[in-house]
């Protein structure tokens, strides 16, 4: 099948217009200036123009003797996958304890997930919700300074954002600082 010259020129023009629109949108997003008709904000807390799970989840961590308590702070209408995840294709919540940037040996005691009300392939998806607490036991004596939590946030309709790693410094509780 031979395409006419007008048809080919039309396709090239449409492609050029779409490419130009993508470049303009990219430039707006880089400067943090979005047109008023933007469907969704494109920036996240790490400065990327792509939305990821860090837009819906943050964490806090407190040291208590030889255990770190990690608390998930999840926006209303969102949740993260439990660990273990219900299905192989889902990304479970995982915790890494760090001393500066170096991972430490630790064992996270993931709680049972809650019923999300969403079923896939006949399986109810288990999730963590806002204020879920996850205790982490340290298996070495080195002092932890940060936690990094890998999460994939999904809304209550089952639409998921790309996974992200959210991190925070560990705060010493009053009891752990006095019991050396």
180 residues of the chain, pLDDT tens digit each: 677 877 777 777 887 777 766 666 655 555 444 443 333 444 444 444 458 899 999 999 999 888 999 999 999 999 999 999 999 989 999 999 999 889 999 999 999 999 998 888 899 999 999 999 999 999 888 888 999 999 999 988 878 899 999 999 999 876 544 443
Instruction: Identify whether residues 31 and 66 lie together within a single domain.
Output: no
Domain count, the chain: 2
| CA dist., res. 92 & res. 94, Å (int) | 6
Looking up residue 134, the CATH number of its domain turns out to be 2.60.40.1250
Strand partners, 58: 73
What's the confidence (pLDDT) of residue 97? 95
Quote the domain boundaries for residue 23: 1-41
Instruction: Identify whether residues 3 and 60 lie together within a single domain.
Output: no
| CA dist., res. 93 & res. 90, Å (int) | 10
Instruction: Identify whether residues 139 and 62 lie together within a single domain.
Output: yes
The encoded tokens of residue 15 equal 């492609």
Instruction: Identify whether residues 15 and 72 lie together within a single domain.
Output: no
What's the confidence (pLDDT) of residue 25? 61
| CA dist., res. 133 & res. 59, Å (int) | 10
Measured in Å, how far apart are the chain's first and last C-alpha atoms?
Answer: 81
Instruction: Identify whether residues 72 and 33 lie together within a single domain.
Output: no
What's the confidence (pLDDT) of residue 112? 96
What's the confidence (pLDDT) of residue 159? 86
Instruction: Identify whether residues 105 and 61 lie together within a single domain.
Output: yes
Instruction: Identify whether residues 57 and 95 lie together within a single domain.
Output: yes
Q: Is 46 within a domain?
A: no
């Amino acid at each position: 099948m031979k395409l006419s010259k007008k048809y080919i020129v039309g396709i090239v023009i449409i492609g050029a217009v779409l490419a130009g629109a993508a470049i303009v949108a990219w430039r707006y997003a880089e400067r943090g200036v979005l047109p008023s008709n933007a469907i969704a904000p494109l920036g996240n807390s790490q400065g990327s123009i792509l939305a990821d799970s860090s837009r819906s989840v943050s964490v806090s961590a407190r040291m208590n003797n030889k255990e770190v308590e990690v608390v998930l702070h999840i926006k209303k209408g969102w949740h993260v996958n439990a660990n273990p995840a219900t299905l192989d294709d889902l990304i479970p919540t995982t915790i890494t304890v760090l001393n500066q940037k170096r991972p430490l040996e630790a064992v996270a005691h993931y709680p049972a997930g809650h019923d999300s009300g969403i079923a896939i392939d006949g399986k109810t998806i288990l999730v963590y919700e806002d204020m879920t607490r996850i205790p982490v036991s340290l298996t070495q004596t080195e002092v932890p300074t940060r936690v990094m939590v890998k999460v994939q946030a999904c809304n209550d309709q089952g639409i998921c954002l790309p996974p992200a790693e959210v991190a925070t410094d560990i705060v010493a509780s009053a009891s752990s600082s006095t019991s050396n």
